[in-house]
Each structure stands twice: as structure tokens, then as C-alpha cells.
Amino acid sequence: MSGHGPATDALPPAGLLRGERRAVARAISRIEQGAPDAAALTAALVPHLGRAHVIGITGAPGAGKSTLVHALLGELLARGQRIGVVAVDPSSPVTGGAVLGDRVRMGEHGAHPQVFIRSVASRGHPGGLSPTTRAIVDVLDAAGFDTVIVETVGAGQSEVEILRVADTRIVVCPPGLGDEVQASKAGILEIADLLVVSKADLPGAEATARDLREMLQLRTKPPAGAWKVPVLSVSAGAAPGRAAHQGLAALVEATLEHARHAGHGRRLHADARTAAASARVLRLAASDPFVAANGITCVRGGPGQAEVRMTLRPDHLNFNGTCHGGAIFTLADTAFGLAANSHGAVAAGIDAHITYQQAVGAGETLSAQAREVSRSRRLAVYRVDVTREDGRVVSSFTGTVYLNGEQHE
């Protein structure tokens, strides 16, 4: 240990870059434990990223994701690949319970020397990816794994997050979904590069595949040359006596074809997009005379996001001596406008609605946090929470913008 100076700490361990299991496991543990040098380690990985094909697999609980991962492992191993698997909150592992090690978890392939499996808890991020998931994917990428598979239970936020991490996003739909699930499929369609109907040996699988194909046809026609989302039916039942595997080779082909189409390292481009959006939000805020006149400052921006603050002055008060509703609206509307324009496309507000929950007085600092709720080609919807310093919500705002297709720069 004594030989490790600050200079060597900035380099990833050589064993990790050679793909040595112990080094990989140690790096992941340091990241998971939030060790003091974890941030330096992830930063040092950056020059070694972008080679692996990252596949994200999401879908409802019990949809058959882990079974599919196991089957994919078999197919990819047969092609001579080294594969890393990150299972976020695995609630129903294919083999064995949570007490068993990660390698045992994925059945026979889990123990294969070319396979590295890690389970992570999503740790207080309900339905979301563990904040360390991205860093673990980076470790596996830097360690030279050809494919990194991330399995996560689809529930709102995680689907959005998997969009940022994965190059190829596979949404698994088991057969026989009821009407209420139909509605949520619309969101699923937006993020899927491949739609997989799992458990194709069960009744109803064909109907589900037909449903999904119909829903895809209802979407706005993708532009020429855009990726066409295929619907694939797969039976991957791992248990002995189950119907033989079916549709797996076609799934692997479609996955590789998508990788050729979309490339690897999408999450790295997403980083660049995030940085550009953040800079744009700060720039737009700084060039807005109305924002300056009201003493509003922008503290943070990102794709579809903005946070602004305002310390209430005496001239923000109304005749009751509390903050004027118009001042709160101004603050919320500023966050709304910045978030809506963060992508670089000109967004014009066409509707806004606000509720007031609490009175506030001069001297208090209010914060407004805007986030994108939905976005299509022409319309986007934002939600803004206005809070006091203690975090209590003062006001809730929703707004819709029209996108005319023009760009800011």
C-alpha cells in the first residue's frame, strides 16, 4: 500500500483493465460502498469506456427478464463473448435465493469463467436504478467485457434511467396483459428498441405480440432510416421440462443489428447532452432581463430540468403582507420556461396551471424545480414544485409547451 501515491491513484488498476475478476470485483465493491476513492476511480475509467455493447432489459416484475438474461448468456457465450451482468434488485432470481452468490444466481452460466454477475440494490431509489449502476457498467466496460447486460424492474423512473445507460433497450412483455397495463405500454413503446413477448409457450403470447405491433403502427411514423422496433416472441423457460428455447437466436441477431445501427456508448453521449443542456439553461437564464429584474437566479439545469431560486423582497409582497401569487408564478414559470427550452428546441408556453398551498413572507428564499413529465414531437408537459428552504411545498405548477421545430442555435 505504501507505494500508492496520488499519481497512481488516478489510474485504474491494471488488473481491472486486463479484466481480472478479483480486480473487477474489488473496484465494484469500492463503488458500492462509496469508498473515498470511488469517485477518482470512476473518473479514471473514462478513457477506457465505450467499447462494450450495453443491453438494458426491463419489464414488469415476473415478466421473465432473468430467465431471458440466462438464455442470452448461453447464446452470447456460444459466440465467444465475455459478458457482464448487473441485476438491479433481483427479487426472483432464476436459481437460488438471495443468500446465494451472484455467480450461482444465473444458473449454470453464472459460474462460467467468461461471465461476471453482480446484483445491486436500488437503495432508496424506488423503482429506479441504483445510483451506482452506471458506475458498475463503466467498470465492466473498462474491464473489456464485450456485452454488459443490465436487468431492472420496469417501474417509471428506472425506464427513463435505463434509456441513458443502455445502448440497446429491450422491454419484456409477458403474454396476457390486462387493459390497465395496455395504457402503460404507450410509455414502454417510447423507450424500447426491441419489444420481446416472453413466455411464448404460454397461451395469449400471439395476441400480445399482435397488440404490440398494432400499437407500434399507431405511433408517428419514424423518419426514413430510423430504427424500426421489432416485436419478437421468445420462450426461454429455464426450468427442466419447460418448452425448449424458441426465438432466442432471432433475438440475439436483432440485438446485434441494433448495436450496429445505434453504436456503443450511448451513455457517454448522454453525458455530453446533459452538459450541453445544463450550459444552455444557465445561458438562457443569464440573458433574460425579466429573470434578472425579479432577482431570480438559476442554480441548475439539465435535459428537461431546471432549478431557480428567489429571495422574497418587500416589493414581492401583496396587500396582505405575504408573497404575491404573481411572484410565485413568475418563479415557477421561469423554471418551466428554462426546462422546456433546455433541449435546444424553441418551446413556447401554451398553457399553465398553478395551485398555492402556503403563504410566505419577505426574506424567505423560494426554490422552483421543473422537470419534464412527457415530451412528443410537438408538445411537452412540465411539472414544477415551488418549495421553501425547509423543503415544504408552497406551490405546484404544470405547464405545456408547443415545439415549432426551430432551434435556439
Ligand X SMILES: Nc1nc2c(ncn2[C@@H]2O[C@H](COP(=O)(O)OP(=O)(O)OP(=O)(O)O)[C@@H](O)[C@H]2O)c(=O)[nH]1
Which one, 65 or 316, has the nearer CB to Mg ion? Answer: 65
**Does the protein bind ligand X through residue 67 (CB under 6 A)?**
yes
- Quickly count: other Cβ atoms within 10 Å of residue 257's Cβ: 14
Which one, 158 or 395, has the nearer CB to ligand X? Answer: 158
The vertex-301 CA angle with 295 and 304, nearest 5°, equals: 120
d(CA 245, CA 166): 25
Is 290 buried (19+), middle (13-18) or exposed (0-12) by CB count in 10 A? Answer: exposed
Min separation Cβ 353 and ligand X, Å: 36
Which one, 172 or 380, has the nearer CB to ligand X? Answer: 172
Min separation Cβ 246 and ligand X, Å: 8
70 close to 185: Cβ distance less than 8 angstroms: no
Taking Cα atoms as reference points, which of 301, 307, 311, 303 lies closest to residue 389? Answer: 311
> What are the start-end ranges of the H helices in 46-90?
65-78
- Contact with ligand X (CB under 6 A): which of 34, 47, 62, 96? 62
Which one, 96 or 326, has the nearer CB to ligand X? Answer: 96
Which one, 91 or 182, has the nearer CB to ligand X? Answer: 91
Per CB under 6 A, the segment of 86-94, 130-138, 257-265, 386-394 that binds ligand X is: 86-94
Which does residue 236 bind out of Mg ion, ligand X, none, counting CB within 5 to 8 angstroms by kind?
ligand X
d(CA 13, CA 16): 5
Per CB under 6 A, the segment of 84-92, 138-146, 285-293, 391-399 that binds ligand X is: 84-92
396 close to 352: Cβ distance less than 8 angstroms: no
- Quickly count: other Cβ atoms within 10 Å of residue 379's Cβ: 14
309 close to 296: Cβ distance less than 8 angstroms: yes
**Does the protein bind ligand X through residue 92 (CB under 6 A)?**
yes
Site residues for ligand X, 202-221, by CB under 6 A, read 202
Min separation Cβ 238 and Mg ion, Å: 11
Rg of the chain's alpha carbons, rounded to an integer?
24
**Does the protein bind ligand X through residue 108 (CB under 6 A)?**
no
119 close to 29: Cβ distance less than 8 angstroms: no
Site residues for Mg ion, 15-74, by CB under 5 A, read 65-66
Min separation Cβ 13 and ligand X, Å: 32
Residues 293-322, mask of contacts with ligand X (x by CB under 6 A): ------------------------------
Min separation Cβ 89 and ligand X, Å: 8
C-alpha cell at 232: 419478437
Min separation Cβ 70 and ligand X, Å: 8
Min separation Cβ 199 and ligand X, Å: 4
In angstroms, what CA-CA distances link 129 with 57, 182, 228, 237, 358? 12, 24, 27, 26, 34
Site residues for ligand X, 176-205, by CB under 6 A, read 198-199, 201-202
Residues in contact with ligand X by CB under 6 A are: 59, 61-67, 90-92, 94, 153, 198-199, 201-202, 235-237, 239
